[in-house]
Amino acid sequence: MNRSAIYLVVLSMSLFMWNCSAESANDSDSTDQQGVEQSVEEDQGNYLLKQGFWIGKLRISKSQVLPFNMEVVKDSVYFINAEERIGALIVQEGEQLVIEMPIFDSEFRISKNDIGLFGYWHNYAKSPDYKIDFTAEPIDKESYDNRFGIPSSSNVTNFEGNWETTFDIGSEGAYKALGLLLQVNQDVKGTFLTETGDYRFLQGNAHGDSLYLSAFDGSHAFLFAAEMDGDTLRGTFFSGNHYQNNWVAFRNDEFELRNPDSLTRLKIGEEFAFTFPGIDGKDVAYPSPKYTEEVVIIQLLGSWCPNCMDETKFLNDLYANYKDKGLHIIGIAFENPETLEGKIERVKELADYYGIEYELCIGGYASKKEAELALPALSEVLSFPTTIFIDKDGQIRKIHTGFNGPGTGPYYLKFVESTNKFIQKMLNE
């Protein structure tokens, strides 16, 4: 069995275990949930919205709607993509309800009608005026997995497998990806890995020869629509209401992306060094005597970047495990606000939300070109996140582009295992 096929098997097992874990968690909370349901039945007016499952829809074009699952529990709402649950509070502000997304600088401003909800999702990180028309309505539990409202059918193409994918086909900016899809009847889950990160948790449905996948996480709103044409999957990718491109894919168990440790390098003869303002008002500098004979990880990130948030959670755990053995981590954030104070505020919110213990500083504006100017010793910055591993002698041992998060299943598990071993090796040298 080749490596990609093994990954697909492990991904299937991983998703099965995640589903089992979710079921176990639901079972363990059944008493509390029953209490909530009983109180809702007795007095639904105690809460701002009808309790239970909802389907949200973003109108990203005249002909395209991007659906995603929601669950309302008391005065909180959870946005759900496959195994991912992102919680936010529902707040009454005058005649409107406001749902402010955690970490990402976006929010829903909505009103109620006889059907459900209507209003807008505002993504201030994109621009002050960026908004998408939003509606939502309650659904029954039996409709939960059918987010695209697909009619039931037994005549459905099997999309499960590894797919060699090319996005933005035919353009100078065309880029490769690896699609990993799992399918049970008409329900499909998976993701696309690229050389700069993954498209995280995608969920959707199959209908005849058509495939539909979507995700909403508060920063990105993704929709993938495709049809089988012989042995080729041809589709369109939409990101919010501002961007779309065409893509093609075909099954290929042998396909792999380039090694993410080989894409960015240290320029010959250059010294890697920086001094940036820390979020506590003190400069953070490297190299520094405090890092002598210590292993250091440098993380280039942005609070607006979901892949960076996946990596931040991983690095925070890594730091907790090895900080007493000589590991330091410095996060260099590149943020959207124009002022330094605004950038620091965004990163402080990030640090509070994830309980980040390692050092954080501000590198500049949210731009790869800005990151290259701030860190001129690097050959280029292709992605947020980009992560630099430095040994006790101050030598850069590798530079990792992008991050394969939990949505990639076995790729994420492999990265966690290999990175832990690599850190242990450098600490023991």
What pLDDT is stored for residue 403 in this prediction? 97
Going 85 to 347 to 306 to 312, the CA torsion angle's sign is negative
Yes or no: say if 408 and 4 are a contact pair by the CB < 8 Å rule.
no
Partnered with residue 88 across adjacent β-strands are 77
Average pLDDT, stretch 102-115?
Answer: 96
Query: Could you tell me the residue ranges of all domains in the chain?
Result: 39-143, 161-251, 274-428
Q: pLDDT tens across 157-178, in order?
A: 999 999 999 999 999 999 999 9
Secondary structure class of 253 (helix, strand, coil): coil
What pLDDT is stored for residue 7 in this prediction? 44
Yes or no: say if 292 and 286 are a contact pair by the CB < 8 Å rule.
no
- Answer yes or no: is pLDDT of 9 > 90: no
Ranking 12-21, 63-72, 334-343 by mean pLDDT, the lowest is 12-21
- Answer yes or no: is pLDDT of 2 > 90: no
What pLDDT is stored for residue 45 in this prediction? 62
Q: pLDDT tens across 134-161, in order?
A: 999 999 988 989 999 999 998 999 999 9
Asked if the domains at 39-143 and 161-251 fall in one CATH topology, the answer is yes
Average pLDDT, stretch 320-327?
Answer: 97
Q: pLDDT tens across 229-239, in order?
A: 999 999 999 99
pLDDT band for position 32 (50/70/90)? very low
Q: pLDDT tens across 257-283, in order?
A: 999 999 999 999 999 999 999 999 999
Yes or no: is domain 161-251 CATH 2.40.128.120?
yes
- Residue 374, C-beta contacts closer than 8 angstroms, at least 6 positions apart: 274, 276, 332, 334, 363, 364
pLDDT band for position 26 (50/70/90)? very low
Task: Report d(CA 219, CA 306) in Å as an integer.
Answer: 7
What pLDDT is stored for residue 22 in this prediction? 37
Task: Report d(CA 19, CA 216) in Å as an integer.
Answer: 20
Candidate CATH numbers 3.30.70.560, 3.30.590.20, 2.60.120.10, 3.40.30.10; the one for domain 274-428: 3.40.30.10
- Please identify, in words, the CATH class of the domain defined by 39-143: mainly beta
Percent of the chain with pLDDT over 70: 90
Average pLDDT, stretch 110-137?
Answer: 97
Average pLDDT, stretch 241-270?
Answer: 96
Q: What angle do CA 427, 428, 429 make, to 5 degrees?
A: 95
Residue 81's alpha-carbon distances to 13, 87, 205, 217, in angstroms, are 18, 12, 13, 8
Yes or no: say if 226 and 234 are a contact pair by the CB < 8 Å rule.
yes
Question: What pTM was estimated for this model as a whole?
Answer: 0.88
pLDDT band for position 37 (50/70/90)? very low
Q: pLDDT tens across 372-402, in order?
A: 999 999 999 999 999 999 999 999 999 999 9
What pLDDT is stored for residue 88 in this prediction? 98
Q: Which amino acid is at 411?
A: Y
